[in-house]
Amino acid sequence: MPVLPSTADYQHLFLHDVPMMDVRAPVEFGQGAFPCAVNVPLLDDRQRELIGIEYKNAGQDAAIALGNRLATPEIRAQRIADWQAFAQAHPDGVLYCFRGGLRSRTTQQWLHDSGVTVPLVQGGYKALRRFLLDTLEQRCAVQPLILVSGRTGTGKTDLLQQIGHAVDLEGLACHRGSTFGYTTSLQPPQIGFENALAVQLLKHAHRHPQQPLFLEDESRLIGRVALPPVLQEAMKAAPLIVLEAPLEQREERVVRDYIQAQRAAYDVAYGEQAAERFAEFVLHNLDRIRSRLGGERHQQLREDWQQALQLFEATGDTAGFRPGIRRLLVEYYDPMYDYQLSRRSGTILARGEADLLLQAMRQHHS
């Protein structure tokens, strides 16, 4: 029997975005995977469950025998065809299962017997995940950070995108970070978010050693995913730059990002149901902060925005949202942000509008 190729160079895999074929069951993949991985399973969820029960009750040999019985010629042919398609599309790809054991070896052998050879990852998903967790710990301990702070609507994400030494935490979380920040994309599972974040930190350290990394000044939660505790601790002591913008510009950006762009995304995601789903999105998120707004203010804003939604859907005119957006910025978001900033221990390096701060950010990488 030939010795088939394998790799334990986890850093190379992540730095170079090597395509990975994850042969775990879909339920395992859904709990957390890697940015360049696709799920092409050996076993479906039900088969995995049955084999797991057999292993528990009768041992490994019995579980393997059951697996062979479940792998009918039709199923085996389909699995091999799916794996071959991955290998053809990604000739530099690798494969893994949970521990780099029986499932990945079986997949690799069936593929090899069909004339295709794909390296497997030693230690599988578990080893890759351990590598990223260690990377997260190590990078948060030594990576210089500078946080971009600012009131809602100042354009922090826009600013970060103009400099190459940044990680977009909200982009990784598929969430804009505010009450109205939900997107039509599902947020990743916590493990998937942590994996993607660790890969970004690894790439920054490799490409820009010793250079500060810019992050948006986020709270613990971005939607439903949480910043890892080690990153939270590192961010607490990090210096800040504070982005400022006139209220009119902030209002305009909120309209653009949270009304117009979101509504366009709903067209793509929901088709004929887009208007109804978007109205639910807007009003539900307003309802989520009812207790903080107070009943009377919440009710008035809700009535105003119900009318604004009708006008917007009929004509595309966003004017009906603007008084409420301005009121939320001035009466809700700004006081909350100012209070949070007053409690920060990090030094404020600079504050001002985008052009000034962009110049200051680039000086740190000159």
Query: Token pair of 190, please?
Result: 């916590």
Distance CA 200, CA 85 (A): 28
Alpha-carbon Rg for the chain, nearest whole angstrom, is 25
User: Is 140 assigned a catalytic role?
Assistant: no
User: How many Cα atoms are found within 13 Å in the side-chain-facing hemisphere of 216?
Assistant: 29
Which residues touch 193 (CB under 8 Å, ≥6 apart)? 172, 173, 187, 225
Instruction: Check residue 147 and report its DSSP letter.
Output: E
Distance CA 65, CA 282 (A): 54
Sign of CA dihedral 57, 63, 65, 70: positive
Instruction: Check residue 260 and report its DSSP letter.
Output: I
Q: Answer whether 181's CB lies under 8 Å from 288's CB.
A: no
Name the catalytic one among 36, 97, 140, 174: 97
Catalytically active residues, by annotation: 97
